[in-house]
Amino acid sequence: MRVLFVLFLAALASAQSTPPAKPDAASLSANAASELTIPAGTKVPVALKHAVSSKGTREGDGVYAETTFPVVANGRVLIPAGTFVQGRISHIQRGGRIKGRAEVLMHFTTLIYPSGYTVLLPGAVENAPGVDKTSVKDEEGTIRSDSQKGEKIGTVASSAGTGAVVGGLSNGGKGALVGAGVGGAIGTAIAMLTRGNDVKLDAGTTLEIVIQREVPLDSSRIPTTTRAYSSAQ
């Protein structure tokens, strides 16, 4: 009995002194290969699948787009062309009659790969090259219509000039002055009653969005080609 006890203690001591087995290189390589990350600051070109405007769209409405070009890093496809991008409208503002420009703010929240693999992401509009008479005004990605101040001043001046011509024809110099004043007043009224341009993004409008923080991916769910669909499709 004493011999068995001594053997048991010797085996226990040997087990405690043996260092734990280290994972082999193949296992480490496989784990590293299964981990991909979309870096913060990555720019993704997309095209809208439906129209968005400051006139007809409401806060909270969904936004649906599709990537138009693959995003590749370190020789590996991270986002293939044809990946769906989903988001929502965060803020809408129509152009004012006297001041205030139209604005549209949208945030993108989800990538949906062709396989159905879904990834949550924080994405904002970085650039809006496909939207006329607008600019991106802040880091949040607010698309704002250009100022119409010059156009409204032109409306007032044009109306005043027309009034002066009509007044001059009817009553000489004095009539021209009165006509200019009346025309200018009408032009001012027209300018004040007219809303500023709306922000209009038709279906197919191209936008560039930026990923605001890094997004981890499962490489086994990401296609290795740059196209989401085969040529047969």
Query: What pLDDT shows up at residue 129?
Result: 83
What is the rounded average pLDDT of the residues 16-34?
49
- Give me the residue label for tokens 């020789």: 75
5 domain residue, yes or no: no
109, 52: one domain: yes
Question: Which domain covers residue 58, as residue numbers?
Answer: 27-147+197-221
19 domain residue, yes or no: no
Query: What pLDDT shows up at residue 89?
Result: 96
1 domain residue, yes or no: no
* Mean pLDDT, the chain, whole residue set: 74
Query: What pLDDT shows up at residue 200?
Result: 92
Kindly state the greatest CA–CA separation across the chain. Answer: 135
109, 183: one domain: no
Per residue in 139-167, pLDDT tens?
888 999 876 444 434 434 454 444 444 44
Asked whether 92 and 63 are in contact (CB, 8 A), the reply is no
What single string gives the DSSP state of each residue in 161-178?
HHHHHHHHHHHHHHHHHH
Number of structural domains found in the chain: 2
Query: What pLDDT shows up at residue 178?
Result: 47
Per residue in 92-138, pLDDT tens?
998 855 557 999 999 999 999 999 999 999 999 999 887 877 888 78
Phi and psi for 167 in degrees, rounded to 5? -65, -40
pTM above 0.85, yes or no: no
CA distances from 54 to 94, 95, 145, 147, 193 (A): 5, 8, 10, 15, 18
44, 123: one domain: yes
Rg (Cα) of the chain, in Å, rounded?
A: 32
107, 203: one domain: yes
89, 168: one domain: no
Partners of 217 in the beta sheet?
Answer: 36
143, 159: one domain: no
39, 126: one domain: yes
Examine the pLDDT at 57 and tell me if it is beyond 50: yes
